[in-house]
Amino acid sequence: MKAFASLLDRLTLTPQRNGKIRLMVDYVASVPDPERGYGIAAITRDLSIASVKPAMLRALMAERMDEVLLGYSYDYVGDLAETISLVWPERGDGEHQPTLTEVVETLQRATRLDGPRLVEGWLDHLDASGRYALLKLVTGELRIGVTARLAKQALAQFGGKDVTEIEEIWHGLAPPYTELFAWLEGRTDKPVSAARGPFRPVMLSQALDEEADLPKIQPADYAAEWKWDGIRVQATSDQGVRRLYSRTGDDISGAFPDILELLDYEGSIDGELLVAREDQGSIAIAPFGDLQQRLNRKVISPKLIKSHPAFIRAYDLLQDGEEDLRALPFADRRKRLEAFVARLASPRIDISPLVPFDDPDHLAALRANPPTDARIHEVAEGLMLKRWDSAYVPGRPKGPWFKWKRDPFVVDAVLMYAQRGHGRRSSFYSDYTFGVWTGPEAAPELVPVGKAYFGFTDEELRELDRYIRNNTVDRFGPVRSVRAEPDHGLVLEIAFEGLNRSVRHRSGIAMRFPRVSRLRWDKPPSEADRLENLERMLPRDASPKKVRKASA
């Protein structure tokens, strides 16, 4: 348990991706089977041993400690599991600490009633960090800021493999993954996935370099289709086993029972998961915010399924019955997909239409002004360009597939607050809250509309940091409030991917993926945008054409 507990402690506080990967690689390199496999399963959330309710923990603690002192402690720490991990009276001699394996395997065999008694015994013998890890595991509250994908990347690095190889077999494996580690350490062959409905590693596109790549995009060589603003999924049905995977191989079936019902076929579709709004019987895509309502939920109510129905817009067919189509050229797979979707005749699985074009200029015009029918202008993020002869290969190969996103939205906003960054940037003010003007023209007021970090050179970051330090009007902890008046302040050009309505923000809007694209030292703050300009960009039925500016 010690190694696992200290891994958790470090992972939660390590901001960088590479740092996290290295910590996990070192963990699996230094911890034996089956302990390391259970550790990884806890991180990828493939371990389900939640067996104790917080109220039971409180009761266990109350037997051991004065209530008033426990109250002071909990008030100070603010987290029950952490409080208990710190105040629990140690009984053991520190030598008989349970391993993670012992904890997991015992709980898997035990009844739910046994849970609290078992946990009580282990708490006596663990140190504070071990108790914390145990309590987070058994209450099912382990949140450490590491995605399952990142853990798989660490495994790939440990074994010198490609992460897609691990994703492909992951769903046929179960903790503690001893056969996986045997392969990663070169002791055996790759485990064969015997599970039905396996995940097939996804093919991804490169961003189009307009200068170098665009001239190559001729209709004889490339197909074009819209890139929809949902989430990429793989919908598989295999002899009664139905699965919906995210593009990183996470099984998200649980959140979409309505989609699973639709998978009445033998095969595997690659497509975009979208949420619809009722529109005279046909499918009309709702803004991304509607889809977010359905993601990351443990329980999906019938009401939500009805108000936010999900559907799939198919891009590709990877498996058709017994036949693996991935080696075929895209042109052939596309024909098979068209026939497959037509056979299904499902109102909630449709096909992403191809976009006919004459030459690169024509394509550029389509991208800049998508058609207004079927609200493509609102819900397409851009274009996907696929070589007709491309096989479906995992990863992000250079050449066969390009994505060509539409220019981002751009507004001019005023810097309001700055916060110190993390890790390498912890001494810089590198996170910025910015606002736009609202209220009467004569007495305008700034309302915050988003927060972004700066993605520029160190030189610019230093310049901005100096400005913030010299223009601070107030400080609270790591945050500085910066002078922001019509005649004195700094204008930031903000690029973002889209806007949603939000009741959580005072401005009533939420930005998707905002980033600071330029520092407008030259621009007086009074000339920054007003909230009304942003409101006009909000998606709505029969909305006026979007205000778009060319990106810098």
Interface residue list for another protein (CB under 8 A): 6, 9-10, 12-15, 19, 22-23, 26, 65-66, 68-70, 72-73, 76-79, 82-83, 86-87, 127-128, 420, 422-424, 426-428, 477-478
- Kindly list the distances between the CA atom of residue 133 and the CA atoms of 128, 349, 354, 529, in Å, as whole numbers in the listed order: 9, 43, 51, 48
Q: Chain centroid to CA 484: how far? A: 33
DSSP one-letter code for 173: -
Q: How far is the CB of 124 from another protein (least distance, A)?
A: 15
Q: How far is the CB of 137 from another protein (least distance, A)?
A: 16
CB 246 within 8 A of CB 232: yes
Token digits for 288? 């991304």
Q: Quick one: 60 or 203, whose CB is closer to another protein?
A: 60
Q: How far is the CB of 469 from another protein (least distance, A)?
A: 9
Tokens 């949420």 found at: 275
Rounded to 5 degrees, φ, ψ at 39 are: -60, -45
Q: Quick one: 2 or 277, whose CB is closer to another protein?
A: 2
Q: What is the rounded distance in angstroms from the CA atom of residue 461 to the CA atom of residue 80?
A: 40
Q: Quick one: 477 or 544, whose CB is closer to another protein?
A: 477
Q: Quick one: 117 or 424, whose CB is closer to another protein?
A: 424
**Maximum Cα–Cα distance for the chain, whole Å?**
79
Q: How far is the CB of 403 from another protein (least distance, A)?
A: 31
Q: What is the rounded distance in angstroms from the CA atom of residue 384 to the CA atom of residue 391?
A: 15
Q: How far is the CB of 490 from another protein (least distance, A)?
A: 20
Q: How far is the CB of 138 from another protein (least distance, A)?
A: 18
Q: What is the rounded distance in angstroms from the CA atom of residue 484 to the CA atom of residue 462?
A: 20
Q: Quick one: 74 or 388, whose CB is closer to another protein?
A: 74
Q: Quick one: 9 or 266, whose CB is closer to another protein?
A: 9
CB 494 within 8 A of CB 412: yes
Q: What is the rounded distance in angstroms from the CA atom of residue 372 to the CA atom of residue 500?
A: 19
Q: How far is the CB of 248 from another protein (least distance, A)?
A: 26
Q: How far is the CB of 387 from another protein (least distance, A)?
A: 40
Radius of gyration in angstroms for the set of CA atoms belonging to the chain, rounded to a whole number: 27
What does DSSP say about strands 310-320 and 267-279: parallel, antiparallel, or unpaired? antiparallel
Rounded to 5 degrees, φ, ψ at 155 are: -60, -40
Q: Quick one: 23 or 214, whose CB is closer to another protein?
A: 23
Q: Quick one: 302 or 423, whose CB is closer to another protein?
A: 423
Closest C-alpha to 550, from 409, 380, 369, 403: 409
Tokens 């005279």 found at: 280
Q: What is the rounded distance in angstroms from the CA atom of residue 348 to the CA atom of residue 345?
A: 9
Q: How far is the CB of 265 from another protein (least distance, A)?
A: 47
Q: Quick one: 388 or 428, whose CB is closer to another protein?
A: 428
Q: How far is the CB of 85 from another protein (least distance, A)?
A: 9
Q: Quick one: 302 or 477, whose CB is closer to another protein?
A: 477
Q: What is the rounded distance in angstroms from the CA atom of residue 473 to the CA atom of residue 482?
A: 6
Token digits for 386? 């696929």
Q: How far is the CB of 276 from another protein (least distance, A)?
A: 40
Closest C-alpha to 23, from 6, 1, 45: 6
Token digits for 360? 């690169």
544: left (phi over 0), alpha (psi -120 to 50) or beta: beta
CB 183 within 8 A of CB 53: no
Q: Quick one: 90 or 407, whose CB is closer to another protein?
A: 90
